[in-house]
């Protein structure tokens, strides 16, 4: 039988998927000879079998028992012994880290007698009873669902009675009394060590499916069927006294990427005290003075880990009586700025290559660098200050709990304000624009989770207090809904809205994207409808405009009445008269865009939407004629109706005017205008044949010598199937995957989201929203047919994509594999697309795809 359990130094034949991230880290650190407590890992296979079968798989219990025996031999202690007991922790650890989402139980193996034995053996009764009360609380909460507040209240009450400020002010007798109180709260606490262990293992397996874990997985695109591994680790104690403690550290600063260790340490404490953000930890460097040997060993260990993994690590450690133990190592979650800086530095240090640096950055995370920040010139009054836990600035109405955050976020931006966050707040954090907490350090739940999400967070803001439905900060009293601004880059909090500025791109960003440009094959263009968008796209590195939607130019205050006049006209003459007035506007728009993109191609798409979109709703119409026209234009399925090139064929004067405006603009701008005219929603070759003729005729009248290209959107399934015939009339194809998705899946792009599509996603019928992430099998299959058909008919045919998918990393990679010439996306996503395109090229070339840790 394949084993379900492996000692840390035992070959398992599996990696992260089998052992989980924590298990694999412990095994590797053990093999590297680093100080790791002994222990074993129960695999994700066992968890999956448990979740499927509803019970632990056959043989698991015996295997665990066998490994417990081995652990006893190694440590010279017995599990369940009363005099000198072996104690273990049970720690969850999935393949993809889900910080704080699943459960951990410490100090297993203690009971009434063993606590006495431990007190006598260590001559430290305080420590023994502190450990025991923690076990009862954690076990009660995790295994039997006892309300944690009941334990907390008992602790607070005792502290009040004793006049103790901190937990550490309580003595051995106090804690013995606390244990008695805890047992009154939780009388069914099992005394048998083996029962404790197996019930804990089951509880950790079960914690895979808690609502908060499910929400986290959905938000982070983690599959639901991975399951978690369980690590059973010999306990080492950070709560033995002042020569002990526990901490977390990063091998570089996770916010900035600066070199130099960075972390926090809490003396005389166990791990959960740090993560819970209950006591505020000290900077790591304080260990230098208090525990110099352990500190030196820690620095050396971190150096070795970076060298081994060739990446920035995030570690957990415990010091027991001045001896260091490593409990975890993993690729550090980091901000995009830190990821870029660390990658550039590591190339300089000779640790990684440029190509590896490119694969180290999560494209989706680049967004963060493009976050707004506070206008440095704004006159500000800082209301309070906390830790700069996650960069970016955000304004919004305050809300005090996660459910309200979700509710109110529907009406506008909110900032979630909490004493501290817990994993149960995850849905509120997702809904909020930013997070502000009173307690907690840089490694508190709020800080870690916000950084992962790329949301601004100010943590540990002690100037703030909460209560009675109010937030008090400085002299201000704020109610739910009052607006504040937080600056996660500096930790400042402001009352009211503060001017923000567009993000600044730094040198590391340019460096890494420069390396990306060196290796990518796909071109990257931008969708832009205005000269301003075009200029921004260019700044972000766009190599052209892949889609300029001309209808957006029809909506300006001076233009809409003219557009309506055109639509309402009864005759062609009437329409032409109105179009005549629109022409100079259009020409001016195109000149601006050609100038902004000087020398780079600009794809202009002729009018696409159904005409009713330019008219008001019937009950808002100004006169009967308009009402009649609105009724006449009404269609049951306008997206399948009179739109796209159908407009151009039925009302050729519209497209004629647009082509004329483009040609005149090209002529006036001169040779730097590189023009591509695109016809939308073509399904039949004959449509494009006629429209090309129209285009060429008008072009010859206006700018006979100016070069130009004519092509089509490919956004109907029929166009994909008949791509060869259509290509005969096209210089280029641009996949409009928004419509192509809608048409292929029979799924309305306007109505499905928020209705059954959301239900499908929640229920797991669909894993990803196909309007966001390209449906590679279905829509992608049609694209492949079109690419093959089009290129067979015309090898020089240029191919691109301009649907939303052109800015989504996995879809960009698909376009690379399909052999498209370029992707086109919104200006802010251009850097992301450049990086994703480079990663796709490196993956194809055999450079292993690294799962960037940032995301
Ligand atoms: C598309 O359909 O993918 C597209 C780019 O055009 P639009 O979104 O304007 O319909
Ligand atoms: Mg379209």
Neighbours of 243 (CB within 10 A): 15
DSSP 368: G
Q: What are phi and psi of 495, to 5 degrees?
A: -90, 135
Strands 822-825 and 601-605: unpaired
Pocket test for ligand 1, best of 547, 605, 717, 741 (most atoms within 8 A of CB): 547
> Which residue's entry shows tokens 């800086």?
341
What pLDDT score does 276 carry? 58
Provide mean pLDDT across the span 651-659: 97
What pLDDT score does 426 carry? 85
739 lines ligand 1 (CB under 6 A): yes
Provide mean pLDDT across the span 208-215: 87
Q: Cα torsion at 200, 204, 207, 213 (round to 10°)?
A: 150
What pLDDT score does 444 carry? 72
What pLDDT score does 810 carry? 95
**166 pLDDT band (50/70/90 cuts)?**
confident
State how far the alpha carbon of 17 is from the alpha carbons of 93, 208, 270, in Å: 10, 15, 28
Ligand 2 center–CA 737 separation, angstroms:
7
Q: Between helices 112-122 and 125-144, what is the axis angle to 10°?
A: 150
Does residue 227 surpass a pLDDT of 60?
yes
**834 pLDDT band (50/70/90 cuts)?**
very high
In what side-by-side order are the strands of the sheet with 259-267?
282-283, 259-267, 245-252, 313-320, 323-331
**371 pLDDT band (50/70/90 cuts)?**
confident
SS3 147: coil
What pLDDT score does 370 carry? 76
Does residue 29 surpass a pLDDT of 70?
yes
438 lines ligand 1 (CB under 6 A): no
Structure tokens at 492: 């400042």
Tell me the β-bridge partners of 603.
676
- Alpha-carbon span 555 to 613, nearest angstrom: 10
How open is the CA angle 499-501-505, to the nearest 5 degrees? 160
Q: Which atom of ligand 1 is nearest to the CA of 715?
A: 2
Tell me the β-bridge partners of 228.
94
Give the model confidence (pLDDT) of 627-648 as tens digits. 998 898 899 998 999 999 999 9
Burial of 215 (0-12, 13-18, 19+ CB in 10 A): middle
Give the model confidence (pLDDT) of 308-333 as tens digits. 999 999 999 999 999 999 999 998 88
Whether 831 contacts 540, CB under 8 Å: yes
State how far the alpha carbon of 511 is from the alpha carbons of 337, 525, 832, in Å: 12, 20, 14
Q: b/e per residue, 257-280, with b = 16+ CB within 10 A?
A: beeebbbbbbbbbbbbbbbebbbe
What pLDDT score does 280 carry? 74
Which runs of consecutive H residues, i.e. helices, occur in 239-328? Answer: 271-275, 286-290, 292-309
Q: Which atom of ligand 1 is nearest to the CA of 527?
A: 5
803 lines ligand 1 (CB under 6 A): yes
Ligand 1 center–CA 593 separation, angstroms:
20
Q: Which atom of ligand 1 is nearest to the CA of 742?
A: 2
Q: Output the residue whose Cα is nearest ligand 1's atom 9.
A: 549
Whether 485 contacts 498, CB under 8 Å: yes
**855 pLDDT band (50/70/90 cuts)?**
very low
How does the average pLDDT of the chain come out, rounded?
91
Provide mean pLDDT across the span 539-566: 91
Does residue 146 surpass a pLDDT of 50?
yes
Give the model confidence (pLDDT) of 589-617 as tens digits. 999 999 999 999 999 999 999 998 888 88
Above pLDDT 70, what percent of the chain?
Answer: 96
Whether 731 contacts 710, CB under 8 Å: yes
What pLDDT score does 325 carry? 97
549 lines ligand 1 (CB under 6 A): yes
**754 pLDDT band (50/70/90 cuts)?**
low
- Alpha-carbon span 741 to 758, nearest angstrom: 16
What pLDDT score does 753 carry? 64
19 lines ligand 1 (CB under 6 A): no
What pLDDT score does 105 carry? 93
**854 pLDDT band (50/70/90 cuts)?**
very low
Does residue 831 surpass a pLDDT of 90?
yes
Q: What are phi and psi of 815, to 5 degrees?
A: -60, -35
Ligand 2 center–CA 608 separation, angstroms:
7
- Alpha-carbon span 263 to 251, nearest angstrom: 9
Which runs of consecutive H residues, i.e. helices, occur in 670-802? Answer: 685-702, 717-721, 723-727, 737-745, 756-763, 779-793
Strands 476-479 and 470-473: antiparallel
Q: Which residue has better confidence, 623 or 380? A: 623
Q: Which residue has better confidence, 678 or 553? A: 678
Q: Hey, which residues are catalytic here?
A: 445, 802
State how far the alpha carbon of 807 is from the alpha carbons of 508, 680, 813, in Å: 21, 20, 10
State how far the alpha carbon of 698 is from the alpha carbons of 646, 657, 660, 729, in Å: 18, 9, 6, 17
715 lines ligand 1 (CB under 6 A): yes
What pLDDT score does 619 carry? 87
Return the closest-CA partner of residue 414 out of 426, 437, 432: 432
802 lines ligand 1 (CB under 6 A): yes
DSSP 161: H
Q: What is the largest distance, in Å, between two alpha-carbon atoms of the chain?
A: 103
Does residue 173 surpass a pLDDT of 90?
yes
Ligand 2 center–CA 609 separation, angstroms:
9
Ligand 2 center–CA 652 separation, angstroms:
20
How open is the CA angle 619-625-631, to the nearest 5 degrees? 55
What pLDDT score does 129 carry? 96
What pLDDT score does 582 carry? 95
What pLDDT score does 460 carry? 85
What pLDDT score does 67 carry? 97
Give the model confidence (pLDDT) of 43-79 as tens digits. 999 999 999 999 999 999 999 999 999 999 999 999 9
Whether 421 contacts 399, CB under 8 Å: no
Q: Give, for 812, the enclosing helix (H) or strand (E).
A: helix 809-818
Give the model confidence (pLDDT) of 265-294 as tens digits. 999 888 767 655 566 788 999 999 999 999
Does residue 752 surpass a pLDDT of 90?
no
Does residue 853 surpass a pLDDT of 50?
no
What pLDDT score does 477 carry? 95
- DSSP labels, 588-626: HHHHHHHHHTTTSEEEEEPP-S-GGGGS--GGG-SSHHH
Whether 819 contacts 792, CB under 8 Å: no
Return the closest-CA partner of residue 770 out of 752, 797, 755, 788: 752
Q: What is the pTM of this model?
A: 0.78
- Alpha-carbon span 236 to 256, nearest angstrom: 32
738 lines ligand 1 (CB under 6 A): yes
Provide mean pLDDT across the span 103-131: 93
- Alpha-carbon span 734 to 714, nearest angstrom: 6
Return the closest-CA partner of residue 692 out of 652, 664, 740: 652
823 lines ligand 1 (CB under 6 A): no
**851 pLDDT band (50/70/90 cuts)?**
very low
- Alpha-carbon span 357 to 334, nearest angstrom: 14
Whether 476 contacts 465, CB under 8 Å: no
Above pLDDT 90, what percent of the chain?
Answer: 71
Ligand 1 center–CA 520 separation, angstroms:
25
Q: Output the residue whose Cα is nearest ligand 1's atom 1.
A: 736
Ligand 2 center–CA 757 separation, angstroms:
20
Q: Output the residue whose Cα is nearest ligand 1's atom 10.
A: 739
- Alpha-carbon span 342 to 580, nearest angstrom: 57
Q: Give, for 825, the enclosing helix (H) or strand (E).
A: strand 822-825
Q: Which atom of ligand 1 is nearest to the CA of 549?
A: 9
What pLDDT score does 442 carry? 67
Provide mean pLDDT across the span 404-410: 94
Q: Which residue has better confidence, 756 or 780? A: 780
Q: Which residue has better confidence, 122 or 663? A: 663
């Amino acid at each position: 039988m394949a084993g379900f359990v492996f000692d840390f130094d035992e070959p398992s034949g599996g990696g992260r998927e089998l052992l989980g991230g924590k298990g694999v880290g412990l095994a590797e650190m053990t093999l590297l000879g680093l100080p790791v407590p002994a222990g074993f890992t129960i695999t994700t296979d066992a968890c999956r079998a448990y979740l499927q079968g509803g019970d632990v798989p056959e043989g698991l219990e015996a295997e665990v028992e066998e490994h417990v025996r081995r652990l006893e031999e190694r440590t010279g202690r017995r599990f369940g012994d009363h005099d000198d007991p072996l104690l273990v922790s049970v720690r969850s650890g999935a393949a993809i880290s889900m910080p704080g989402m699943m459960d951990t139980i410490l100090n297993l193996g203690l009971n009434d007698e063993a606590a006495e034995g431990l007190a006598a053996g260590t001559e430290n009764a305080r420590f023994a009873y502190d450990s025991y009360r923690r076990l009862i609380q954690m076990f009660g909460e995790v295994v039997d669902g006892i309300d944690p507040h009941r334990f907390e209240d008992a602790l607070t009450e005792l502290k009040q009675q004793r006049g103790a400020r901190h937990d550490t002010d309580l003595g051995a007798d106090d804690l013995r009394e606390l244990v008695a109180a805890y047992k009154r709260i939780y009388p069914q606490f099992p005394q048998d060590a083996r029962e404790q262990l197996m019930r804990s293992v089951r509880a950790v397996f079960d914690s895979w499916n808690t609502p908060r874990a499910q929400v986290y997985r959905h938000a982070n695109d983690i599959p639901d069927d991975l399951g978690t591994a369980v690590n059973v680790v010999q306990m080492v104690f950070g709560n033995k006294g002042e020569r002990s403690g526990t901490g977390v550290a990063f091998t570089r600063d996770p916010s900035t990427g600066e070199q130099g260790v960075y972390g926090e340490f809490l003396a005389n404490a166990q791990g959960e005290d740090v993560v819970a953000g209950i006591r505020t930890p000290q900077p790591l460097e304080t260990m230098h003075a208090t525990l110099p040997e352990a500190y030196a060993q820690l620095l050396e260990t971190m150096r070795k880990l970076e060298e081994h993994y060739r990446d920035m690590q995030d570690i957990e450690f415990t010091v027991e009586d001045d001896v260091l133990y490593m409990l975890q190592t993993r690729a550090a979650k980091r901000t995009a700025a830190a990821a870029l800086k660390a990658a550039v530095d590591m190339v300089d240090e000779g640790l990684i290559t440029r190509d590896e640096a490119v694969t180290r950055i999560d494209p989706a995370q680049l967004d963060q660098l493009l976050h707004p920040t506070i206008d440095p010139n704004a006159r500000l009054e800082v209301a309070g200050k906390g830790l700069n836990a996650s960069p970016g600035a955000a304004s919004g109405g305050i809300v005090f709990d996660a459910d309200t955050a979700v509710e109110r976020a529907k009406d506008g931006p909110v900032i979630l304000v909490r004493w501290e966050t817990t994993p149960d707040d995850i849905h509120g954090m997702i809904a909020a624009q930013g997070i502000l907490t009173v307690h907690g350090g840089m490694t508190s739940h709020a800080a870690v989770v916000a950084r992962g999400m790329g949301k601004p967070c100010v943590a540990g803001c002690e100037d703030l207090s909460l209560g009675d439905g109010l937030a008090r900060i400085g002299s201000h009293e704020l109610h739910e809904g009052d607006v504040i601004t937080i600056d996660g880059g500096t930790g400042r909090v402001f009352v009211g809205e503060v001017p923000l500025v567009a993000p600044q791109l730094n040198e590391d960003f340019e460096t890494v994207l420069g390396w990306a440009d060196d290796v990518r094959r796909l071109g990257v263009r931008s969708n832009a409808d205005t000269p301003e968008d075009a200029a921004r796209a260019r700044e972000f590195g766009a190599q052209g405009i892949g889609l300029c939607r001309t209808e957006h130019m029809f909506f300006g205050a001076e233009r809409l009445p003219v557009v309506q006049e055109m639509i309402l006209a009864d005759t062609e003459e009437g329409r032409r008269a109105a179009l005549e007035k629109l022409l100079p506007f259009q020409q001016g728009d195109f000149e601006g865009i050609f100038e902004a993109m000087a020398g780079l191609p600009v794809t202009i798409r002729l009018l696409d939407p159904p005409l009713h979109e330019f008219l008001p709703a019937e009950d808002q119409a100004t006169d009967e004629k308009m009402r009649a026209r609105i009724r006449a234009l009404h269609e049951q399925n306008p997206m399948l109706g009179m739109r796209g090139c159908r407009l151009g064929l039925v009302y050729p004067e519209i497209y004629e005017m647009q082509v004329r405006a483009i040609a005149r603009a090209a002529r006036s701008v001169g040779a730097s205008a590189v023009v591509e005219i695109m016809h939308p929603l073509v399904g039949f070759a004959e449509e494009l044949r006629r429209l090309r003729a129209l285009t060429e005729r008008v072009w010859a009248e206006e700018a006979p010598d100016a070069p130009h290209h004519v092509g089509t959107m490919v956004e109907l399934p029929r166009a994909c199937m008949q791509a060869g015939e259509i290509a005969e009339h096209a210089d280029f194809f641009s996949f409009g995957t928004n419509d192509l998705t809608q048409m292929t899946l029979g799924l309305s792009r306007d109505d499905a989201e928020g209705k059954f599509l959301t239900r499908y996603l929640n229920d797991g019928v669909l894993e990803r929203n196909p309007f966001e992430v390209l449906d590679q099998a279905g829509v992608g299959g049609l694209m492949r047919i079109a690419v093959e058909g089009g290129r067979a008919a015309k090898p020089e045919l240029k191919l691109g994509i301009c649907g939303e998918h052109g800015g989504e990393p996995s879809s960009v990679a698909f376009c690379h594999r399909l052999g498209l010439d370029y992707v086109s996306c919104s200006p802010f996503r251009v850097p992301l697309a450049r990086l994703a395109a480079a990663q796709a090229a490196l993956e194809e070339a055999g450079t292993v795809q690294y799962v960037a840790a940032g995301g």
